[in-house]
Amino acid sequence: MNWAIQIGILGQTRLRLHLSFLLLLLWTGFSSWKEQGALAAFHAVFFTCLIFFCVLLHELGHVLAARRYGIPTPQITLLPFGGVAQMDRLPEKPGQEIAVALAGPAVNLGIGAALWAGLIFTGGMPDPAAIELGLPLSLPVRLLSLNLWLALFNLLPAFPMDGGRVLRALLALRLPHLRATQMAARIGQGLALGLGLLGLLSSPLLVFLAAFLFLSAGAELGAATLQHLARDARVSAAMLAPCIRLPLECTLQDAVESLLHSAQNDFPVTDAGGHLRGLLTREGIVCGLGEGGQNPLVAQWMRRTVPTVEPSMTVEKALGLLRESGSTALPVLDESGEVLGLFTPENATQFLRVRNALQNHSKNGHTG
Ligand SMILES: [Zn+2]
């Protein structure tokens, strides 16, 4: 369970709400009701919904900017302090990454500017003295400060905030992508340490946020390192080979035997000439067994249209193909169409991790 529920679809983007948002809604409503009654609770819940709406508009800013560069966003998850727009890929060019990252905070600044102009025009801007005294502020004023806060918070130069991506992209204008990510991650971790120290003196929430930023920088660096390695590595080195193949005429019972007695979950199905005819997945086997019948053949339950890869393709490209096709594995074929092996995300990740460890070892080997 990933603690998010789908609340709607906008174009090609699924909108999901993280459950912490609902908890926040319940908590603000309940605590205001206990202290100040039903009307205050209604106001608190209404304002939380407005936060939700501003975060949503922020994310849509990213989505629209990414779409300009031909990058679809299949999913947005909304959290109380921001959202996560899950794009198919990140923009390649630093300039595009900057534009996509800035589009979100720009939306909040836009809303803030509109509210500010409206308040000036209607004379609704509060007296600085009133703010200092802590007098209750009008809804537009609170909304204005919320949007300024959202913009500034997201511009913090630390992953996974938008500011971290802008910083990486600015560095990538001069440096190779991986080096830029390393520097941006270090700067983000330094900032997180500073925030953490500040939090120890002031607020536990800040300590929590600092820990989150610190760990996120590490995760981003890990992902960028693996991506860098995937760009150079070939499928032939990262595939599972030899792999178990099932002949067309074998039964589902044979497939179960192979599933239970190997680490393989998906099986290329081949004809007598050794050519690929389909892919039998674990789900296919389970479905077939569920349907029963007199020992059905694997040909009945295999996927007939499966994307395939060549051994010389880069691991990065093959991983992209896996993601796009939604397949759990890709058969690797030679020029004559014969099955050489199986490319799976698990095998590829393991390969990249080992390669990373070996590289680190050879880099540090002489000093240690
Ligand atoms: Zn953002």
Centre of ligand 1 from the C-alpha of residue 3, in Å: 20
Centre of ligand 1 from the C-alpha of residue 100, in Å: 9
**Tell me: the pLDDT tens digits for 246-266?**
888 888 888 888 888 888 889
Centre of ligand 1 from the C-alpha of residue 163, in Å: 8
Please tell me the least confidently modeled range out of 109-123, 128-142, 284-298.
Answer: 128-142
The whole-number average pLDDT for the span 86-103 is 84
- Which fold is adopted by the domain 236-353? CBS-domain (3.10.580)
pLDDT at 299: 80
**Tell me: the pLDDT tens digits for 34-54?**
888 888 888 888 888 888 888
Question: In the predicted model, is pLDDT for residue 1 greater than 50?
Answer: no
pLDDT at 365: 62
Centre of ligand 1 from the C-alpha of residue 215, in Å: 18
Please tell me the least confidently modeled range out of 83-87, 147-151, 190-194.
Answer: 83-87
Cβ-contact 335, 323 below 8 angstroms: no
The whole-number average pLDDT for the span 304-315 is 87
**From CA 222, how far away is CA 352, in angstroms rounded?**
11
CB within 8 Å of 309: residues ≥ 6 apart: 235, 317, 318, 321, 330, 331, 332, 333, 343
Tokens of residue 207, six digits: 């300590």
DSSP secondary structure, 334-357, as one string: -TTSBEEEEE-HHHHHHHHHHHHH
Centre of ligand 1 from the C-alpha of residue 103, in Å: 8
Question: In the predicted model, is pLDDT for residue 366 greater than 60?
Answer: no
pLDDT at 193: 93
Centre of ligand 1 from the C-alpha of residue 15, in Å: 15
| 135 confidence band (pLDDT: 50, 70, 90) | low
The H or E element that residue 184 is part of is: helix 177-201
Tell me the sheet residues that pair with 276: 270
Centre of ligand 1 from the C-alpha of residue 149, in Å: 12
| 114 confidence band (pLDDT: 50, 70, 90) | very high
Centre of ligand 1 from the C-alpha of residue 273, in Å: 53
pLDDT at 237: 86
Centre of ligand 1 from the C-alpha of residue 310, in Å: 37
Centre of ligand 1 from the C-alpha of residue 184, in Å: 17
CB atoms within 10 A of CB 282: 15
**Tell me: the pLDDT tens digits for 222-248?**
888 888 888 888 888 888 888 888 888
**From CA 313, how far away is CA 158, in angstroms rounded?**
34
pLDDT at 109: 95
